[in-house]
Amino acid sequence: MNALTKTNFNFKNQKSLYVGKVRDVYNINDDLLVMVVSDRISAFDVVLPKGIPYKGQVLNQIASKFLDATADIVPNWKLDSPDPMVTVGHKCESFPVEMIVRAYLTGSSWREYKNGAREICGVAIPDGMREHQAFEKPILTPTTKAELGLHDENISREEIIAQGYVSEEDYVKLEEYSLKLFARGQEIAKKMGLILVDTKYEFGKKDGKIYLIDEIHTPDSSRYFYLDTYQERFDKGENQRQLSKEFVREWLMENNFKGQPGEVVPEMTDEIVAGISERYIELYEKITGEKFVKADTENISDRIYKNISEYLK
């Protein structure tokens, strides 16, 4: 199974290439962005040494579906998806914050809570909560967008506005859009027998208009629990069955890796890589209700270059 871990294309009118942890983003004439979702996988802000076959296709196709399914709530950047691993859309000036919506006390928020924190990003969390417990209503816990290799930092609404990251007028819209998108994501997940636990949204501006950008409701940006076993497992204090990237983080932590200086990424055997690939495909089928159709991976780079070049004509 081939995996795409690097691209270095040169398209007509290309101005620049930004290489993120997972996505390679080509700027076409300061007007369009061509986003290639690679098979790279990151955890604890570290890109792991091996790619995961079909991961890029899974992420791109889930995001594409959810962008279409939420376009009535907020305009989004997507124009088309000319390849299973590619989305082309509007180039926007992105806001330097990520809007994280949480409906449950889990993951990093639980780790902070367990260590005594009773406030996250200026939002008060009551005493006596348990891991995986639902909040009364979803909360917003934004972070600043870090440069590659650095950790995103928690920040409060007040700090974002006071420090001029986002104007108060725009921030009010970002809050409103984020909560509406999350509610839609929860509705869709519930129909598929899942719970959308938490997620992140990114927004940008073009010609004075706010757009939803990047990915939405994918297993890299979101966490899902299985609805049918949630309550029983919660009552028993058991770990939740979940479809997200958390299982990768847990595997790394079990092998003494948390992204700290001096730590070594555990060996990614073919078996581990295949297992992660299967989990991503499972999530695709579970969240979309559709059978995953594997794209031809014999010459991934050639296929992608051809499809994008034809689209840009």
Mean pLDDT of the 220-246 span: 92
In this prediction, residue 301 carries a pLDDT of 97
pLDDT beyond 80 at 112? yes
In this prediction, residue 145 carries a pLDDT of 84
Instruction: Give the whole-angstrom CA distance, residue 50 versus residue 62.
Output: 22
Mean pLDDT (the chain) is 95
Whole-prediction pTM:
0.91
pLDDT beyond 60 at 150? no
Among the ranges given (34-48, 135-149, 176-190, 288-302), the one the predictor scored with the smallest mean pLDDT = 135-149
Among the ranges given (80-94, 144-158, 188-202), the one the predictor scored with the smallest mean pLDDT = 144-158
DSSP the chain: -----------TTEEEEEE-SSEEEEEETTTEEEEEE-S--EETTEE-SS--TTHHHHHHHHHHHHHHHTTTTS-BSEEEEEETTEEEEE--EE-SEEEEEEEEE-HHHHHHHHTT--EETTEE--TT--TTEEEEEEEE--EEPPPTTS---B--HHHHHHTTSS-HHHHHHHHHHHHHHHHHHHHHHHHTTEEEEEEEEEEEEETTEEEEES--S-TTTEEEEEHHHHHHHHHHTPPPPEEETHHHHHHHHHTT-SS-TT--PPP--HHHHHHHHHHHHHHHHHHH-S---PPP-TTHHHHHHHHHHHHH-
- In the numeric block, the tokens 């501006």 are attached to 205
In this prediction, residue 152 carries a pLDDT of 78
Which fold does the domain 94-244 belong to in CATH? Answer: D-amino Acid Aminotransferase; Chain A, domain 1 (3.30.470)
**Type of residue at 137:** K
